[in-house]
Amino acid sequence: MPEGYCVKCKAKKEIASAVEETMKNGRKAIKGTCPTCGTVMFKILGGKASAPSSAPGSTPSSP
Ligand SMILES: [Zn+2]
């Protein structure tokens, strides 16, 4: 489960029922709800749209 920041709990929470979405600008984002209070959470993922899906936090692949 991806983690996001809940503004209501003011804490990092696992995003419940997270759904990956691609925004108009081509960026990916995770949309879900806080498992504690149910507030909608939105986490914007970094990276380029054209880049292949790479796990964030993993070792970057250098050419
Ligand atoms: Zn919350």
Complete DSSP assignment for 1-63: --EEEETTTTEEEEPEEEEEEE-TTS-EEEEEE-TTT--EEEEE--S-SSS----TTSPPPP-
pLDDT at 25: 87
Its pTM stands at: 0.63
pLDDT tens-digit readout, 9-24 = 999 999 999 999 998 9
- pLDDT tens digit string along 27-58? 899 999 999 999 999 898 876 555 455 556 66
What mean pLDDT comes out for the span 1-9?
91
- Ligand 1 centroid – CA 42 distance (Å): 12
What is the whole-number distance in angstroms between the Cα of residue 20 and the centre of ligand 1?
19
- Cα(47) to ligand 1 centroid in Å equals 26
Ligand 1 midpoint to CA 46 (Å): 23
pLDDT value of position 40: 94
pLDDT at 7: 94
